[in-house]
Each structure stands twice: as structure tokens, then as C-alpha cells.
């Protein structure tokens, strides 16, 4: 829930920024840019977690950042108190329940709509219509099978289906030019995968149903979808062709008196709410930028904000320090000769109370590390020790400064393996050979 709220907050800021600059963007950049720039927001909001990437600690030092500071900055955006954890668990189940209901409702609604119109759908038998449609498929390089159907239950052309795609048009007498533009518009939606885009938006709505700005974004994306589709259809068209397309849209809207196509997972040719804006855009011959650089920058920012940078070396050092702290805690305990703890009899100790010779009840010999672990365990714990010998191990103790060259070399290699540092006062225990 913490990650979800953080991302919803960041997404809301991005939505507000895009809406504020919407008019400026639409004047300078293509409708396609305005349509696809929303993907940066959607991808960010649909991933309520971070992808971990481990990098060298030196990279952080080079840029002057500390991994802990970066994590602290991100986590402190929304500060949670331990006392409210239970409330967030309740909120999580509430969020999950509503999200599931939201998705189930829209899925059932979609299939109910399909089931409602399927009884009124039949194949196109007119050869002129078929020829226009087949010619468009070839011109637009669409190889996917998309069937063309008539339907008496609708008054607006629409595209429906993801895997079994169909274009459904009302049984109305369109002239050849109008039919060409209507079919080309719907095919353009399929060519650009707009229905899949709508599915992703629906999932985003289900995840962030509690955020009112997400519904504003949804409406803006739908508008930009139609504008960009018109733009793609009219690409390289002259003024006369644009006027014919605009006329087709107006005439189609006049016939649209009983539009039941109010589904999120279909594409529709008619949209009365933004007719003026669509007409203005159709007749706008001004050359606008594609926005490739800004789009690439938005993609980079989205990817960077969706990953969590961690230092592998830092994690290892933390583990080593924790182990070292545990060892120090054990080594501060003082023992006495003659004590028996969990079957281990302490034979002798040094001046700091650290065992130097021990004997197990099974007469097994234990190395120093295992002895310390056993002595640190509670009495009720049990431990199985494999027997190696009947004689206790004895050690030669050196300081690093006074150790022989071969002992120093081995010790240095062992310390480097755990990224530690060698100190002249370090004690080195070398087991004596057994006879």
C-alpha cells in the first residue's frame, strides 16, 4: 500500500503537468505524440513496486550519492508510523476488493455487450463493400484476419475484439468515399493496437480506482486516441480529402441516434463530445513536431524511476559487520575451567575468560568457531556434532605482525575474501598437527 500510494501520488503530479501543458503540446507536437506520451504515466502507475538492480558501490561514490540516502529520500515521501500498520492492512484488502469488483464489472459488461449484438450481426454480402475493405487491408499492410460484419443493433461503426477481431458497421447506405474513410479509421485503430492500449488503461483504472485524476487521464487518452487516429488516416492527404473525411464524420454522427456502444474495450468512429476539436484538427495543415527526443527522455525517466539501485558490496559488508558484532558479543562472555555447557566441558581458559581447551561429551573435537556458537546457544537447544577425533585440537596463536610469512599470506587471502582489512594486532590461530 505504501508503494501504491507513492506511485499514485507521483502519477497524479505527472497527470496534472500534462493536462496543464496540453494546449501547448497539441500546438507544437503531433496528436500521436500527445496520445503516446500518456504511456510514460501509465507504465509508472501500473507497476507499484521497484525492480532491483545491483551496481558497484564505487558508482554511488563517483556521483556523490549514498545508497542509504537515496532509499531514505524515496521512503520518506510518505512517512508511516508503526501504530498505523493495521489500518494499512485493512486498506489493502479494501483496495483489492474494489479493484477485483471493478475489473469483473467491466469484463462482464464487455461480454454482455458482445452477447447483446451478436444476434443482430451478419456477414457483408455487398461486393463493392468487400472490394473497398480488401483494398484497404492491402494498402495498410494489415495481414491479421479482421472480419467485416453488418449489425442492425448499432448506429455507429465500431471495432470489437482482440483475438477474434471484427469491424462492425450499421446497415446504412454509405457512399464509396464515406465507407472508405469509416473502414480506414477502424482499421487504423487495429493497426496501432488501440484496443490493447485500452486494456492497459482499464487495468490502470482498476489499480488506482481511488484516485480521481485517473478518470480525467482516461477521458483525455480517449480523446487523444481519436484525434491521433484521424491524424494517421489523413496523413499525406490534401485539403479536399480532409473535407470529405470531415463530412463523413458529421453525416455519421447524424445517423448516430441510438448509440449503445459505451464500452471501454471497443473503438468507435463517432464521438459527439469532441466533434469541434476533431474537425479543427482535420483541417489543420500546420506541420508539427513528432516529439521523438521528448518521448525518449520520458521513457528513460520512467525506466529510471521504476528501478531500485542497490550496492551488492554494501549488502555483503553489512552482513560481515553483523556477524562480527555477534562474534564480539560471544567473545565478551567469560567462562571458567571445569564448566559444562550442553555437553561441552571447558578444560582451560585464557586471561579474558575465553575457552582454550574444551572436550565434548562424545569425545569429539570442535573448532573454535563451533565452540563459541554452542556456548552462545540457550541450554534447551540441542546440537549434533560430527566426531572427527578423540583428541582436542590445540592451536598456535600468532599476531599478524609476528606470524610466519606463509601464515600471513593465508590470513591476507582469507581477509580479502570477505572484503575486510588486516590489522597488525590481529590474532591468528593455527591448529597444531594431531599425532
Cβ atoms of 434 and 395 within 8 Å: the answer is no
pLDDT at 58: 56
Q: Which residue has the higher pLDDT, 336 or 284?
A: 284
pLDDT at 73: 45
Distance (Å) of CA 113 to CA 185, 250, 423: 22, 26, 77
pLDDT at 320: 45
pLDDT at 94: 93
Share of the chain above pLDDT 70, in %: 68
SS3 97: helix
pLDDT at 317: 45
Q: What is the DSSP string of 142-190?
A: --S--EEEEETT-SS-EEE-SSS-EEEEES----HHHHHHHHHHHHHHH
- Tens of pLDDT, residue by residue over 121-171, are 988 888 898 999 999 999 999 988 899 999 888 888 888 888 888 999 888
- pLDDT of 81 > 80? The answer is no
Q: Which of 212-216, 234-238, 430-434 has the lowest mean pLDDT?
A: 430-434
- Tens of pLDDT, residue by residue over 296-339, are 777 777 767 666 555 444 444 454 455 545 444 444 567 777 67
**C-alpha–C-alpha distance, residues 308 and 66, integer Å:** 13
pLDDT at 61: 53
**C-alpha–C-alpha distance, residues 27 and 212, integer Å:** 27
**C-alpha–C-alpha distance, residues 237 and 228, integer Å:** 15
pLDDT at 211: 94
Domain boundaries, the chain: 2-49+81-290, 334-392, 394-435
The confidence band for 202, taking pLDDT boundaries of 50, 70 and 90, is very high
The confidence band for 430, taking pLDDT boundaries of 50, 70 and 90, is confident
pTM of the predicted structure, to 2 decimals: 0.62
pLDDT at 145: 87
Cβ atoms of 356 and 349 within 8 Å: the answer is yes
pLDDT at 3: 84
- Tens of pLDDT, residue by residue over 382-401, are 333 344 444 566 777 788 88
pLDDT at 52: 59
pLDDT at 70: 44
pLDDT at 375: 60
Mean predicted lDDT score pLDDT of the chain:
76
Q: Which residue has the higher pLDDT, 230 or 296?
A: 230
pLDDT at 414: 80
Amino acid at each position: 500500500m505504501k508503494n501504491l500510494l507513492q506511485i499514485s501520488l507521483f502519477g497524479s503530479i505527472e497527470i496534472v503537468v500534462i493536462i496543464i501543458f496540453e494546449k501547448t503540446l497539441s500546438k507544437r507536437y503531433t496528436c500521436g505524440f500527445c496520445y503516446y506520451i500518456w504511456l510514460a504515466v501509465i507504465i509508472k502507475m501500473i507497476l507499484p513496486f521497484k525492480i532491483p538492480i545491483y551496481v558497484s558501490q564505487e558508482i554511488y561514490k563517483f556521483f556523490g550519492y549514498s545508497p542509504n540516502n537515496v532509499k531514505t529520500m524515496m521512503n520518506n515521501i510518505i512517512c508511516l508510523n508503526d501504530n498505523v500498520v493495521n489500518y494499512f492492512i485493512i486498506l489493502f484488502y479494501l483496495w483489492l476488493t474494489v479493484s477485483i469488483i471493478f475489473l469483473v464489472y467491466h469484463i462482464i459488461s464487455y461480454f454482455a455487450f458482445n452477447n447483446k449484438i451478436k444476434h443482430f450481426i451478419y456477414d457483408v454480402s455487398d461486393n463493392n463493400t468487400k472490394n473497398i475493405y480488401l483494398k484497404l487491408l492491402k494498402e495498410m499492410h494489415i495481414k491479421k484476419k479482421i472480419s467485416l460484419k453488418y449489425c442492425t443493433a448499432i448506429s455507429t461503426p465500431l471495432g470489437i475484439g482482440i483475438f477474434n477481431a471484427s469491424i462492425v458497421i450499421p446497415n446504412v447506405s454509405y457512399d464509396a468515399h464515406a465507407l472508405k474513410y469509416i473502414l480506414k479509421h477502424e482499421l487504423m485503430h487495429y493497426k496501432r493496437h488501440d484496443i490493447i492500449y485500452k486494456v492497459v488503461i482499464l487495468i490502470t483504472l482498476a489499480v488506482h480506482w481511488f484516485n480521481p485524476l485517473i478518470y480525467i487521464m482516461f477521458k483525455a487518452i480517449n480523446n487523444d486516441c481519436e484525434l491521433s487516429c484521424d491524424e494517421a488516416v489523413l496523413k499525406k492527404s490534401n485539403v479536399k480529402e480532409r473535407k470529405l473525411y470531415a463530412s463523413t464524420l458529421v453525416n455519421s454522427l447524424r445517423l448516430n441516434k441510438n448509440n449503445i456502444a459505451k464500452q471501454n474495450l471497443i473503438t468507435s468512429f463517432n464521438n459527439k463530445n469532441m466533434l469541434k476539436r476533431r474537425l479543427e484538427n482535420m483541417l489543420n495543415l500546420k506541420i508539427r513536431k513528432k516529439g521523438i527526443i521528448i518521448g525518449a527522455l520520458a521513457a528513460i525517466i520512467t525506466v529510471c524511476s521504476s528501478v531500485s539501485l542497490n550496492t551488492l558490496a554494501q549488502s555483503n559488508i553489512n552482513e560481515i559487520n553483523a556477524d562480527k558484532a555477534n562474534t564480539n558479543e560471544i567473545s565478551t562472555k567469560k567462562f571458567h575451567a571445569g564448566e559444562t555447557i550442553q555437553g561441552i566441558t571447558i578444560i582451560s581458559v585464557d586471561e579474558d575468560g575465553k575457552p582454550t581447551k574444551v572436550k565434548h561429551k562424545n569425545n569429539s573435537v570442535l573448532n573454535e568457531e563451533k565452540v563459541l556458537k554452542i556456548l552462545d546457544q540457550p541450554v534447551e537447544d540441542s546440537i549434533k556434532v560430527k566426531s572427527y577425533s578423540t583428541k582436542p585440537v590445540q592451536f598456535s596463536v600468532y599476531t599478524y605482525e609476528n606470524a610466519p610469512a606463509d601464515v600471513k599470506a593465508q590470513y591476507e587471502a582469507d581477509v580479502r575474501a570477505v572484503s575486510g582489512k588486516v590489522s597488525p594486532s590481529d590474532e591468528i590461530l593455527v591448529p597444531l598437527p594431531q599425532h
